[in-house]
Chain A
């Protein structure tokens, strides 16, 4: 036989969908908040997504940022995000505000969803500042599903709060609470009494998330869903729990590696030629979620809930490590 092809099956590259999109609209939404609308350059429909999903903007080789989609999943002709110019910007929001305009092409990855809207008869939405973005499609969904819902939306000042105008026209279901008018959000008013018919979805700055987590501590487990913009502050780990080095077995690929101090599981596996997904490398985006078949991971991510951590059946391999000498992963 002339052409005999033998190819190693382990040469599989797994990646997330990446598309070059064009900015079809740019609009100032509020003070320091700009909305960007993306469309396919050839007018093709964009991939599907569900409320709570986010995309990566790949701004340059070393600058990738995650933004929640705030348009409607029903409209496959466009994706929309809202971006706050962050005074503490590490470059992402400045780049977007200064350099992305109508007509600019941007490489976009995703969508993915770590903040999925689970079916429920009632929702309590809580948003702080730009954290309103993933909540908008959730409200559309809740409305269509005939679920009862309420939004508590806080911000510094009314003119800094994106979408405050259109949301305030939705009636009693929406409470808009600029801090300079009404002070800090009164969480007790909506979270004071735990309810078993309600799911709480919250997105906003760390201080708000922490307060909501505390207020929900008496709620049924699984009721609270939160999305973080940045990595969760490191909590105290029992000393000696994390092993300096440990072995990782990639079950499907048949590859075994040793993870040393100072290197992540993801890096070591990737160097060994096993293709894995990774995007933020901070434990916040969820791309590198991997099933754990054997062993006990030491979770250091900001994605998994306490219940999911305790189940020990998945881990974010970009930041999490191991409590056992050997971890077997479904890779």
Chain B
């Protein structure tokens, strides 16, 4: 499978707590990257390959804000410029490794791996679920599957009846494919208003709402960019209160068949109660791991290329819109005018 990810997009490189005064090696969009913090706390990302003999810089060490290669001791500053070659008094002109623009918005460290110079034309998306009025926790995991398998899985919720029956509100025997889909040039938002149903165990446990009545819920998801999809599940408490939880998933391609998933689970209620957060985190991390097992099986058995040629049903309307956005981004980057720069959807085989 060839690369199907746009490069001109801000992706999450790491969680904030992963990056410190140790060198962190990570493959992102099939590029080797080394990440570390300067003494000031600023995150630096350099190409993880010494300009001399291609040894990974991540196997070397930090000296102040400089990276020292573990092979011949070449030293690089945080702009990627080679500033010292131990075997001679001067540095050969122009020796450097690529430095990647970084923006840190905890819990995420965002990186620009696209065309140099274009990083300033956009920024990482605005994520209110990780801001004021919300509490969240998260983790990260490597998935052996194409990144679009991950996005598309969360753009079509109709798998929950089959896969996550216990976490689905009892009595919901079918789900509307997607009530409403709203598209812009760069995003797709899908909304489902669910009919009244009793509380699932996790809902009762987390919200402490009485179990003797039915509740309506609004499920809303947004594909914000090829780097991130967010879904929220809002339970109407019936007295004007809303119990909302959001699953924020940053999806960063490692290679055409591997993906880094940075998973964050947020809630806007009981934000001070650590126990509620830990409980929800546990339930939904288990769900995430079940999801990943399915996606890895599909990748191993067929690959994303086969999935694209699969049959499409009504519930795939959101998936197809997401593909159209990614296809348009790819067409702009490759400079291709044929197939059309504008979207030609993937045909049904």
Which chain A residues have a beta carbon within 8 Å of chain B's beta carbons? Answer: 1-18, 44-45, 47-50, 53, 72-74, 76, 110-114, 116-120, 140-141, 144-146, 221-223, 251-253, 277, 286, 289, 291, 293, 303-305, 307-308, 311, 313-314, 330
Contacts and interface: CB of A to CB of B under 8 A. Distances in A.
15 contacts: A4-B173, A9-B177, A12-B176, A12-B314, A13-B179, A15-B183, A16-B182, A111-B186, A117-B332, A144-B118, A144-B120, A222-B337, A222-B338, A291-B344, A330-B345
A7 to B, nearest CB: 4
B184 A16 contact: yes
A311 B340 CA distance: 9
B316 A15 contact: no
Interface centre among A6, A7, A141, A311 (most CB of B within 10 A): A7
The 7 closest A-B CB pairs, nearest first, are A222-B337, A48-B186, A9-B177, A291-B345, A3-B171, A5-B195, A17-B184
B185 A53 contact: yes
A210 B115 CA distance: 34
Nearest to B333: A119
B185 A113 contact: yes
Interface stretch (B87-95, B121-129, B255-263): B121-129
Contact of A313 (B122, B198, B317, B347): B347
A48 B122 contact: yes
A308 B340 contact: yes
A112 B185 contact: yes
B105 to A, nearest CB: 13
Contact of A74 (B115, B123, B179, B334): B123
B133 interface: no
A314 B344 contact: yes
B302 to A, nearest CB: 21
A116 B328 CA distance: 8
A252 B317 CA distance: 9
A1 B125 CA distance: 42
Contacts of A13: 179-181
Contacts of B331: 116, 118
A280 to B, nearest CB: 16
B49 to A, nearest CB: 23
Contacts, number: 185
B213 to A, nearest CB: 10
Interface in B139-176: 170-176
A74 B122 contact: yes
B342 A286 contact: yes
Interface in B68-102: none
Contact of B317 (A12, A17, A73): A12
A14 B183 contact: yes
B195 A3 contact: yes
A303 to B, nearest CB: 8
Contact of A48 (B185, B189, B214, B321): B185
A305 to B, nearest CB: 7
Given A12-B177, A120-B335, A330 B312 contact: yes
B25 interface: no
Nearest to A2: B171
Contacts of A76: 123, 126
Contacts of B317: 12, 14, 252
A10 B115 CA distance: 42
B197 A5 contact: yes
